[in-house]
Structure 1
Amino acid sequence: MALNLGNHQFSDALIILGAAGIVIPAFARFRISPVIGFILVGILVGPAGLGTLVPQAPWLYYVTISDPESIEPFAELGIILLLFSIGLELSFKRLWTMRRLVFGLGAFELLVAAAIIALGLHLLGQAWAGSIGLGLALALSSTALVLPLVGAASQVGRPAFAMLLFEDLALVPIIFALGAMAPTAGADGWANLGTVAIRGAIAVAALYIAGRFVLPRLFAQAARTKNPELFLAASLLVVIVASLITTAAGLSPIVGALLAGLLIAETEYREEVEVMTEPFKGLALGVFLLTVGMRLDLRLIMANWPSLLAAILGVMAVKIIVTTGVLKFTGTRTGTAAETGVLMSSPSETTLIVLGVATQAALIQPSTAAFWTTVTAIGLTITPLLAKAGQGIARRIDRSERVADPEVDADRPGTVIIGFGRVGRTVADMLRVHGKPFVAVDADIDGVNAARKDGYPVIFGDVARSEMVDRLRLGHADALILTMDDPVLTVTLARRVRAWVPNLPIIARARDAAHAAELYKAGVTDAVPETLESSLQLSEAVLVDIGVAMGPVIASIHEKRDEMRQQIKAAADLDREPRIRRIRRTGEVG
């Protein structure tokens, strides 16, 4: 059957794919974020760009988006896949350790920023109900843009992710609360909010239980077919089903996508799923950014630029001050707090959703919603620039706070210690006793300054950023010691370094035997579980105190340590062997 080129959906699809094919490589070549490229293309091909010339030049119909609303579902899919990929990078254990950050730091930052913005708008003449709706909308920050710029595991990414995660979880309560505040809602609005909370909790629990038992079997069957397409289909099916379940329960589909990622992250198929869904996430996110650009009317912006500029700067100033102040109050170093505050100062893609709900609830006028929609679109456009500005501000603050970098031989760094807390300092002391050169790296500026004053060669830096690891010249190092108190980052860094430097001895601190097994699978030479060493030290003290001679005690402790390490390595090898066999099979995913 012949294709009908007059079909606007087919025309729009060609433009979207063409934009992705041009924008990503072109902007990557000049080391410019493709975020800006997609938004600029959205402005160009949108109804306020070349679309206005279609009546005079009908051929432009084929290179413009004729119906911006028709690609909104694809934009929402981009956000869903983004949250899914974030879930893949996490684990339930890590989320549990972050609960205070998410529900403490995240809640405080959102509510304080929303209250200040709402108060300011009320003083400018907006009614209280509308001010609250606008305050909650503008206090949100962009998960879709912030996390890809800094990652979820970096020094900036960790607090940013905690706040963004709370905002994503709070989106549904915000929407229902605004609906309950509508003049026609009555008491039923608040009752509906409680019903949704109960249904949502049941849906999340059901997904967790089903995922723990069903997902490993589902992906095992898909892998046995030796069909990559079927494996990809299974991955997308999990995301879609989880999103549909949370949507049916009254929650946002992005909550289901995040849960799907978390559940898959608990299986051995995480890396394969992440690699296979990456192109879809990038394309769908690009579509979302195109829709952001289409909301920008340059003529309207030029006609109202003073008020738009004042609104953008006002919102950004409030969010920078609140976010930086909250992080500083929790003990975050000044540079990281400032960088995070600047990065998260612009509104979010979810701001557009909340604005729509507030308009439907008659809390704000359509003209007011249109004004703040333009503010939001501009804020999203400049987010990559804010990231660069935040990095520059953080560097200047760090330079003013820290003492001079130690002199380190770049060609002969000796042993590199990453993490200079209690464990790292003890390792450094032992290296000094035996006259071995070393250099340490830590992201805590106060700890770095204190160590330098004591004469230790410590570099300030965040190893979650690959450029920082590159500076360490690990190819010339004698050994790498990982002592960080972040199990996920330790495994990630060990895997990355092992791929770069196959023969480098890597010794890592592990929390327990399970973490040690993960580290051995990642390629470390030796993993030292804290639980193992504490139990051996306790055993040694008991044996000596009850009268056993020191020599036999030390020999038996060494023997037990070697036996337990071999057991951990054997468990890691058994877990890894089926995976290696699958990889070696031609055409099989996994």
Structure 2
Amino acid sequence: MTIYFIQAFIYLIAAVIAVPLAKRFGLGSVLGYLIAGVVIGPVVGLVGDETTTIQHFAEFGVVMMLFLVGLELEPKMLWSMRHRLLGLGGLQVFLTAASAAGLGLLFDLPWTVAVTIGLIFSLSSTAIVLQTLQEKGLMSSDAGRSAFSVLLFQDIAVIPMLAFIPLLALPELVEAAASLQVAAEHHEELNLLAGLPGWAYAIALFSSIAAVVVGGHYLSRPIFKYVASAGLREISTAAALALVIGIAALMSLVGLSPALGTFLAGVVLANSEFRHELESNIEPFKGLLLGLFFITVGAGIDFGILFSEFGLIIGLTLGLIALKAGILLLLSFPFKVKGSDRWLFALSLAQAGEFGFVLLSFSTQNHALPLDISQRLSLVVALSMLLTPALFIAFERLILPIYEKRQSKTQEPDKVDDQGPVLVAGTGRFGQIVNRLLAANDVKTIVFDQSLSAIEVMRNIGIKSYFGDATRMDLLETAGVGQASLFVVAIDDRQRATELVLELKHAYPKLKILARSYDRGHQYELRQAGADYVVNETYYSALEMAQQSMIELGMHPFKATGLRNSFAKTEEKSRDILYETWLASTEDNKFNANYRELFMQFEDALRNANKRERNEGHSLERSWTPPPKGYAEEFE
């Protein structure tokens, strides 16, 4: 028992140390897990042969991930993906398998071995790609949707591959195994449908899928209502785990992919009122198991074979990545994946996948691959997965900036043919509200934004808007910034917003500048740059929510309004003093001990002010409009 505690501690502490460091250096969590595995495995030797067993257990994280992905997809959305799912996914698997098999024949491999290798290399890493795309917020992009379609088809394609590979067994391997009496004494997977005739097998498969779909639709709601009535969080978690594990077990018992079954269940439950609860219960287990899986991939790298045949292994790994990326780039043209999304799509799927380990083991056990080739291919699969985060980094730092520059050059800013008293930089969710209120009160605004879609929205509601970079002074001068009364900064980029305020205040000292900040630190930076008025984008919405919370808890609306105003007044008194303390600090971290101590003093003053407000029973502010007649009856 002690050895299990020690092993668990090693894996967990490696993740705790490596992943935050990888995130801090912009490498992503996946690469952090892989590096942790390499360190505790081949480098230090803290873990050994048990990694293969743990890897099979950790692969359940992929099953959980596909369940969560399914929860995000409505059936209508999945139907809309059918062309890319079958067309793009099918062509990718076929072309990659055929190309890899063709290259294998050039190296004088038997055609059965070449085809087996082609099938293994046609798969990509669902775990790494989806985890990274979600982490970077790229799932909703055209590249993200296309990559997901391909990955989903690959997961489905594993099923016929498992049925086809035993037909590719090499006769000499089968004979050698029989003569040595080592004819596959491995653990046989339990399959309830083994031995059934073809027609009965097909009916049983479709019945199992129908049971998941129909049961998920009609039985899940009463079951989860019953569980929720207990009011125990651990029972809800147990129910969520039982659902995923049960469906995975059912799919395995009939010879289908557990990942496919849980994905279908997720899609069926996408419209359920229990969807968010399921997500919150499953997410921690999914994250830990996926992290454990990535660690075992890194720990399983055999550096002995790698160093003895370094050139061959590295050449095969880079060749595989280049081959798959090239095929994916070609497929992106007919399926209209454009611009930088084309490169993201190609690079994200250029590795081999975790199911490659499953197929390698299965192929060896069924005598379709010699053991020595399987060991080398296992290294290629692991290294290609290890390099995937580096491909994402290359896309972000090398390819994406090129397309952004190209877009800024090819898409010329609109010619400004008007001027107004108010100029607004940025028309996102914050800037739109500012513009709408000003326009509703007949205040003429000139709006700039670098998003064509956002500009079209503003034009459709009759607000003069221009496509262009609001940080370009020549563009602002054409719009009459020198004669303007007011400039509103509402762009999304924190650094560019601060630089714009600094440049505007330097060029036009008398211009009034109002700016949106993201947090308290950004607020101080904008004030330091010269902004006349700064508002935190979440401040007033949070005050509104807090006031409504008190009302929902039974407090009279007038009382809640008084407490809100008391809070705002005390906050306003402290704002300038805290800013001056922050400004006077010469340390890199301006939120130092002096600032924190002063902040806590104001927090105490805030609590005391609100306590007095509650005890006195009247508001410190009397500026709101009296309520209409009959208003009080609504709260009696």
Q: How does the TM-score come out when normalised to structure 2? A: 0.62
Find the partner of 1:400 among 395, 402, 406.
406
Q: What is residue 165 of structure 2 aligned with on the other side?
A: 178
Q: What is residue 533 of structure 2 aligned with on the other side?
A: none
Alpha-carbon distance in 2 for matches of 1:242, 1:345? 30
1:254 aligns with 2:237: no
1:111 aligns with 2:94: yes
Per-residue CA deviations over 1:474-523 (Å, capped at 9, x if unaligned) read x979xxxxxxxxxxxxxxxxxxxx989849xxxxxxxxxxxxxxxxxxxx
The offset of 1:196, in angstroms, is 5.5
Change in Cα spacing, 1:171 to 1:229, as seen in structure 2 (3 Å) is same
Find the partner of 1:413 among 415, 425, 428.
425
The offset of 1:142, in angstroms, is 0.7
Counting matched residue pairs gives 445
Alpha-carbon distance in 2 for matches of 1:333, 1:132? 32
- The aligned runs of 1:426-505 (5 Å cut-off) are 437-438=446-447, 457=467, 502=541
1:131 aligns with 2:114: yes
The offset of 1:110, in angstroms, is 1.3
Report the secondary structure of 1:156's partner residue.
Answer: helix
- The aligned runs of 1:61-140 (5 Å cut-off) are 63-65=46-48, 67-140=50-123
Q: What is residue 271 of structure 1 aligned with on the other side?
A: 276
Find the partner of 2:324 among 301, 319, 325.
319
Find the partner of 1:44 among 27, 39, 42.
39
The offset of 1:323, in angstroms, is 0.5
Alpha-carbon distance in 2 for matches of 1:381, 1:266? 36
Higher Cα Rg, which structure: 2
Report the secondary structure of 1:362's partner residue.
Answer: coil
The offset of 1:49, in angstroms, is 3.9
Change in Cα spacing, 1:356 to 1:65, as seen in structure 2 (3 Å) is closer
Q: What is residue 28 of structure 1 aligned with on the other side?
A: 23
- Aligned residues of 1:110 and 1:167 also touching (Cα < 8 A): yes
Q: What is residue 556 of structure 1 aligned with on the other side?
A: none
The offset of 1:468, in angstroms, is 7.2
Change in Cα spacing, 1:290 to 1:155, as seen in structure 2 (3 Å) is same
- The aligned runs of 1:6-405 (5 Å cut-off) are 8-46=3-41, 48-51=42-45, 63-65=46-48, 67-151=50-134, 152-182=139-169, 198-391=203-396, 392-400=398-406, 403=409, 404=411
Alpha-carbon distance in 1 for matches of 2:195, 2:95? 22
The offset of 1:434, in angstroms, is 10
Alpha-carbon distance in 2 for matches of 1:469, 1:268? 36
Alpha-carbon distance in 2 for matches of 1:49, 1:330? 44
- Aligned residues of 1:84 and 1:261 also touching (Cα < 8 A): yes
Alpha-carbon distance in 2 for matches of 1:443, 1:192? 59
- Aligned residues of 1:343 and 1:390 also touching (Cα < 8 A): no
The offset of 1:135, in angstroms, is 0.7
The offset of 1:362, in angstroms, is 1.8
The offset of 1:163, in angstroms, is 0.4
Alpha-carbon distance in 1 for matches of 2:452, 2:145? 13
Alpha-carbon distance in 2 for matches of 1:439, 1:205? 53
Per-residue CA deviations over 1:303-351 (Å, capped at 9, x if unaligned) read 2111112101211111111111101222221321122101211111111
The offset of 1:37, in angstroms, is 2.5
- Aligned residues of 2:113 and 2:168 also touching (Cα < 8 A): no
- Aligned residues of 1:244 and 1:253 also touching (Cα < 8 A): yes
Change in Cα spacing, 1:42 to 1:410, as seen in structure 2 (3 Å) is farther
- Aligned residues of 1:12 and 1:66 also touching (Cα < 8 A): no
Alpha-carbon distance in 2 for matches of 1:443, 1:146? 29
Given residue 324 of structure 2, which amino acid in structure 1 is its aligned partner?
K
Change in Cα spacing, 1:137 to 1:341, as seen in structure 2 (3 Å) is same
Per-residue CA deviations over 1:172-231 (Å, capped at 9, x if unaligned) read 11111112333579xxx9998887655333211111001101111122222222211111
- Aligned residues of 2:248 and 2:258 also touching (Cα < 8 A): yes
Given residue 86 of structure 1, which amino acid in structure 2 is its aligned partner?
V
Q: What is residue 631 of structure 2 aligned with on the other side?
A: none
Change in Cα spacing, 1:31 to 1:183, as seen in structure 2 (3 Å) is closer
- Aligned residues of 2:27 and 2:393 also touching (Cα < 8 A): no
Alpha-carbon distance in 1 for matches of 2:217, 2:383? 42
Alpha-carbon distance in 2 for matches of 1:438, 1:34? 39
- Aligned residues of 2:244 and 2:262 also touching (Cα < 8 A): yes
The offset of 1:352, in angstroms, is 1.1
- Aligned residues of 1:312 and 1:375 also touching (Cα < 8 A): yes
Q: What is residue 549 of structure 1 aligned with on the other side?
A: none
The offset of 1:296, in angstroms, is 0.9
Alpha-carbon distance in 1 for matches of 2:408, 2:294? 39
Given residue 258 of structure 1, which amino acid in structure 2 is its aligned partner?
F
Given residue 315 of structure 1, which amino acid in structure 2 is its aligned partner?
L
Alpha-carbon distance in 1 for matches of 2:143, 2:96? 19
Given residue 457 of structure 1, which amino acid in structure 2 is its aligned partner?
F
Given residue 44 of structure 2, which amino acid in structure 1 is its aligned partner?
L
Change in Cα spacing, 1:195 to 1:81, as seen in structure 2 (3 Å) is same
Alpha-carbon distance in 2 for matches of 1:193, 1:177? 15
Alpha-carbon distance in 2 for matches of 1:410, 1:470? 21
Given residue 34 of structure 2, which amino acid in structure 1 is its aligned partner?
I
Alpha-carbon distance in 2 for matches of 1:472, 1:202? 58
- Could you tell me which runs of 5 or more consecutive residues in structure 2 were left unpaired when the two chains were aligned: 175-193, 431-435, 457-464, 470-490, 498-513, 517-536, 543-636
Change in Cα spacing, 1:45 to 1:443, as seen in structure 2 (3 Å) is farther
- Could you tell me which runs of 5 or more consecutive residues in structure 1 were left unpaired when the two chains were aligned: 52-62, 419-426, 448-454, 460-466, 478-497, 504-590
The offset of 1:84, in angstroms, is 1.6
Q: What is residue 613 of structure 2 aligned with on the other side?
A: none
- Aligned residues of 2:412 and 2:468 also touching (Cα < 8 A): yes
Change in Cα spacing, 1:22 to 1:93, as seen in structure 2 (3 Å) is same
Alpha-carbon distance in 1 for matches of 2:31, 2:447? 42
Alpha-carbon distance in 1 for matches of 2:40, 2:335? 45
Given residue 93 of structure 1, which amino acid in structure 2 is its aligned partner?
K
Q: Which moved more, 1:308-317 or 1:23-32?
A: 23-32
Change in Cα spacing, 1:130 to 1:412, as seen in structure 2 (3 Å) is same
Alpha-carbon distance in 1 for matches of 2:117, 2:358? 11
- Aligned residues of 1:72 and 1:291 also touching (Cα < 8 A): yes
Change in Cα spacing, 1:287 to 1:417, as seen in structure 2 (3 Å) is closer
- Aligned residues of 2:422 and 2:446 also touching (Cα < 8 A): no
The offset of 1:410, in angstroms, is 13
